[in-house]
Amino acid sequence: MRPGNLDEFEGQADIVGPGQPLRVAIEEDRISSMIFWGPGSGKTTLARIIANATESFFVKFSAVTAGVPELRKIITEARDRRKFNSTRTILFVDEIHRFNKAQQDAFLPHVEDGTITLIGAPPRIPPLRSSLLCCPACGSTCSSSWSRTTWAG
């Protein structure tokens, strides 16, 4: 059974322990798009906890089994959810590294305009050539600035 909140979440105390940067951002409902990496590190579980804690709708998307057409449908639903219910959408993209740059670019306008909060999950440290990781318009500076895009691994 997966933990349902940060107090039940084991590991990653350096970022989600009491007073730590990601935990504070979650508790203050100041979540931005971010990348989690590392096999067996609880990426999916932590993304679900964040969605629950911020009262956001959670969508899990696999870059291995789905593509841009499915992404377009998710984006349309997220836009409607935000417009009609004032509910944010956290889009968790497992294996995000499998998307090429053009596919990754399909996320950008929707991250930029706040339609989705993207949590990407490659299995290892992501390459910084990715447009998702280095998008000045999204507030990302490819650094560990917690006020911008969050990096956890």
Give yes or no for a contact between 88 and 115, defined as CB atoms under 8 angstroms apart.
no
**What pLDDT was estimated at residue 81?**
98
Burial class (CB in 10 A: 0-12, 13-18, 19+), 68: middle
Residues 83-103, mean pLDDT to the nearest whole number: 92
The reply to whether 55 falls in a domain is yes
Give me the amino acid identity at 34: M
Copy the structure tokens of residue 124. 């290892």
**What pLDDT was estimated at residue 102?**
83
pLDDT range class, residue 31, cuts 50, 70, 90? very high
Q: Of 118, 112, 55, 60, nearest to 86 (Cα)?
A: 55
The reply to whether 65 falls in a domain is yes
The reply to whether 121 falls in a domain is yes
Structural domain boundaries, residue 109: 32-129
**pTM, to two decimals:** 0.82
The reply to whether 26 falls in a domain is no
The torsion angle over the Cα atoms of residues 146, 149, 64 and 16, rounded to 10 degrees, is: 10
The reply to whether 22 falls in a domain is no
The reply to whether 138 falls in a domain is no
Has residue 56 got a pLDDT over 70?
A: yes
The reply to whether 71 falls in a domain is yes
Has residue 111 got a pLDDT over 50?
A: yes
pLDDT range class, residue 2, cuts 50, 70, 90? confident
What is the domain count for the chain? Answer: 1
Helices (H), 28-145: 43-53, 68-85, 101-105, 108-112
What CATH number is given to the structural domain containing 65? 3.40.50.300
Give me the amino acid identity at 74: I
Task: Answer with the residue of higher pLDDT: 18 or 137.
Answer: 18
Has residue 103 got a pLDDT over 70?
A: yes
- Dihedral pair phi/psi, residue 70, rounded to 5°: -65, -35
The reply to whether 146 falls in a domain is no
CA 64 to chain centre: 17
As a whole number of angstroms, the distance between CA 19 and CA 140 comes to 23
**What pLDDT was estimated at residue 126?**
60
pLDDT range class, residue 11, cuts 50, 70, 90? confident
**What pLDDT was estimated at residue 101?**
83
